[in-house]
Structure 1
Amino acid sequence: MTTALCSHPGFRKLWAGDTIAQFGTAVGAIVLPLLAVAVLDVSSGEMGLLMAAESAAFLLIGLPAGAWVDRVRRRPLMIRMDLARAALLLSLPIAGWFGVLSLPQLVVVALLVGACTVFFDIGYQSYLPSLVGREHLMEGNAKLQASHSAARFAGPAIGGGLTQLVGAATALVSTGVGYLASALFLSRIRAEEPPPVRAEKPNLRAEVTEGLRFVFSERSLRAIVSCTATWNLFFGVQSAVFVLFLVRTVGLTEAVVGLVMALTSVGGILGAVLSARVIRLVGQARAIWLVPLAGSPFGILIPLARPGWPVGLLVLGLLVFSFASVVYNVAQVSFRQAICPDHLLGRMNANVRFIVFGTLPLGALAGGALGEWVGVRATCGCPWRAGSWLPSGWCSRPCAPCETPPLD
């Protein structure tokens, strides 16, 4: 990975703040569903509702958010969103300590934090080109993806361990602190941000339409959006029941759940480190479709996990998935940023995220419903019945289309 940006003071602060925030987010991503399972004993449908709430904001406010971001300076907006996310998440451990935590509060907090994340993510992706220059976008995105992958590696293990040690509610404090640290580092960036280009008579509908027209008039962007939206739809289905699958079906403890999810993030770290090399080897445009195509078949290994060594199948499947998704993200995000005019960056990123993340809550709701209907393992993708090549007694819990008896 190239190192030109390591001497860039503004990027170093952005990178440091984002890294700390990502660690907090990774801890929260495992602690929040564990909190719902351990403290509130939620059902598959309720877990699907909670997972849908985390990403519903992309669908609800994704389009106008881009126009709003293009009207303001991005760095101050990102700081405000970090502070809001910290306050919202810190309300959960307070409620837990007083014994008044409820599922409606979890859902509302997840929904509002998701709304703040919409503005933060659009702002960050639109701010990076002006901070580092378009010639350094690939390096900047690769470094930020490396931090994200490192957080996904260590965060779940930290979150699972903290949950087992001090309880899920208290473990969420680290996520709130991470957002506060991110706000602090962003506030110390001294690089001057260009003023936004404002229309004399702002028209929200016309601004949103202009952004949509740019996305859908570009054939390459249409293909990227379609690919990512489809991937995220089925990722949402799996995410709705994944923690339930690991805890109740595979029988893992909270700490082991965190460890397993951390191990899978090694693929993301490798993807971030090797992304520039892979993209140079196969070409940026080809990497956008070839890498996820090669990694997707390994997903069939995920629902084959059960107690003992078959947990390794899940880890292997997620390792390859993680590697492919990070290389894909570095390639396609850098491509999008490079071809988009500055004054449309917020709307372009918002419109893309509206579509590609808008499928996540739909998938999560579908995953919760499928978990109730056909069972958690089947929802994760297990297509085999007893009598097929899948060994008898493999499943630790039978699901509707799998008549294999449970293990003793």
Structure 2
Amino acid sequence: MAVGHLNASTFEVAMLGAAVWLPWLVVGLPAGALVDRLAGKPLMVFCNVASTVLLTSVPAAVALDALTFPHLALVAFGTAVATVFFSTAYQRFLPSVVDVDFLPAANARMQGSESVAQVVGPSLGGLLAAAFGAAAGLAIDAMTFLASTACLVAIRTREPVRKAPAESLRKIPHEIAQGLRYLLRDPYLRVIAAFSASTNLAGSMLQAVLVIYLVRDLGLGEWTAGTVLSLVGVGGIAGAAVATPVARRCGTARGLLLCQLCSAPFALLMPLATPGAGLAFLVVGGAVTTAGVIAFNVVFGAFRATYVPRHLLGRVVASTRFLNYGTMPIGALLGGIVGTALGVPAALWISAAGTTAAVLILFIGPVSRQRDLPAGPAAAEDAVPKP
């Protein structure tokens, strides 16, 4: 919408990318503490309804010829706030739906489906925008939140009774600190969080300028650009499919390393893309890099669900995402600044180099020295008092 309908500049597009991830810095940590004390399903339904209303407002504004850039930025930020609460709540809700013996497998599937959706969603958005226009694509996007709500309503599981919010809201800062301390003190979680934050910083530079690169630098039409993004998204599906077999055959710790060692260097192919056959560099580089990221997320998500004590899971998830996603608005703005000052290809090269170099962080700490990650709850559980 920003590029095609409002003819936004490179930096304005980057600002939209930053708005999508900024809520993780603003409300990411309080969300974890609130989710740990609220019923998950009603909260997720509310987030879906809010996202539906916000997204529907964009095609409505287009129909009235009243769409502005601040409106787009507000929708991007608002739907992202809803995403923060929804994604944190669903991870806290899952153990209420699935018996503990099946939790690792269920979490792996949930992580896989979420990761694939995060990759395939933008790809399908590109195709919808090319086929029906970006405004219609956003209207269809809004309807998917209603479908999600219908699925949630169909779940009949009763959640455990939580503390009344009014009873302990004053404890939220303390509980936020508990989640952060647990994350930063744990030798596995802090290394993986540092790696993910660095990778996301580099990757968000690419995301911020990729559409500009395809449309303005390579001269692709909307349909071709959407097709390229969809082909890159295939890598996410492949990564989700191979994650569990790789972890089972090679070990979960080695699987994390292999996922990145074998995929991250392919990011260096993407800036080599040219119109025509040269698009293969971008498609192959993007697909393989994406496959590695998705496979990594699936293995790590399954590990975290069983490793972190249940009463801390919401806060640890929120703390992890606060660090991981908190670098993304910074990366998006950097992408816009570099793309404006030095050109979009320069931003792609810096992003690719950062993605490749970030793998070295995984060799710090115990992750690189063993075959498997711990299978049970962390030994440090007793060191953190239950709220």
TM range (shorter): 0.7 to 0.9
How far apart, CA to CA, are the structure 2 residues paired with 1:288 and 1:220? 12
Is 1:98 paired with 2:31? no
Residue deviations 1:241-260, cap 9 Å, x none? 01000111111111111111
| Residues 150 and 353 of structure 1, relative CA distance in 2, 3 Å threshold | closer
Is 1:329 paired with 2:297? yes
Deviation of 1:380 (Å): 0.8
Residue deviations 1:241-299, cap 9 Å, x none? 01000111111111111111111222211221221110011111222233112211000
Residue deviations 1:341-364, cap 9 Å, x none? 222111111100001000000000
Letter in 2 for 1:243: V
Is 1:274 paired with 2:245? no
Is 1:132 paired with 2:137? no
Letter in 1 for 2:300: Q
How far apart, CA to CA, are the structure 2 residues paired with 1:270 and 1:185? 25
| Residues 373 and 60 of structure 1, relative CA distance in 2, 3 Å threshold | same
Match of 1:37, SS state, is: coil
How far apart, CA to CA, are the structure 2 residues paired with 1:149 and 1:221? 19
- Residue 126 of structure 2 contacts residue 229 of structure 2 at CA under 8 Å; is this kept in 1? no
Match of 1:381, SS state, is: helix
Query: What's the counterpart of residue 379 of structure 1?
Result: 347
- What is the aligned length? 349
Match of 1:205, SS state, is: helix
Residue deviations 1:14-68, cap 9 Å, x none? xxxxxxxxxxxxxxxxxxxxx1001111111111111000110001111111001
Equivalences for residues 298-317 of structure 1 within 5 A: 298-317=266-285
Match of 2:2, SS state, is: helix
Letter in 2 for 1:99: D
Residue deviations 1:195-220, cap 9 Å, x none? 22569544111111111111112110
- Residue 271 of structure 1 contacts residue 323 of structure 1 at CA under 8 Å; is this kept in 2? yes
- Residue 126 of structure 2 contacts residue 225 of structure 2 at CA under 8 Å; is this kept in 1? yes
Query: What's the counterpart of residue 248 of structure 1?
Result: 216
Match of 1:310, SS state, is: helix
Match of 2:155, SS state, is: coil
Superposition CA RMSD, Å: 1.9
TM-score (norm 1): 0.82
How far apart, CA to CA, are the structure 2 residues paired with 1:268 and 1:79? 27
Q: Out of 34, 37, 48, which is 1:71 matched to? A: 37
Residue deviations 1:101-138, cap 9 Å, x none? 01000001101111110000101112122322343334
Match of 1:187, SS state, is: helix
Worse overlay, 189-198 or 227-236: 189-198
How far apart, CA to CA, are the structure 2 residues paired with 1:264 and 1:372? 25
Equivalences for residues 76-87 of structure 1 within 5 A: 76-87=42-53
Query: What's the counterpart of residue 8 of structure 2?
Result: 42
TM-score (norm 2): 0.86
Q: Out of 197, 201, 216, which is 1:233 matched to? A: 201
Query: What's the counterpart of residue 181 of structure 2?
Result: 213
Unmatched segments (≥5 aa) in structure 1: 1-34, 384-408
- Residue 138 of structure 1 contacts residue 276 of structure 1 at CA under 8 Å; is this kept in 2? no
Residue deviations 1:156-205, cap 9 Å, x none? 55433432343211221111000011011101100111122569544111
How far apart, CA to CA, are the structure 2 residues paired with 1:150 and 1:369? 29
Percent of residue pairs bearing the same amino acid type: 40
Match of 2:65, SS state, is: coil
- Residue 149 of structure 1 contacts residue 266 of structure 1 at CA under 8 Å; is this kept in 2? no
| Residues 149 and 210 of structure 1, relative CA distance in 2, 3 Å threshold | closer
Residue deviations 1:313-351, cap 9 Å, x none? 111111111211111001111111111122211111110
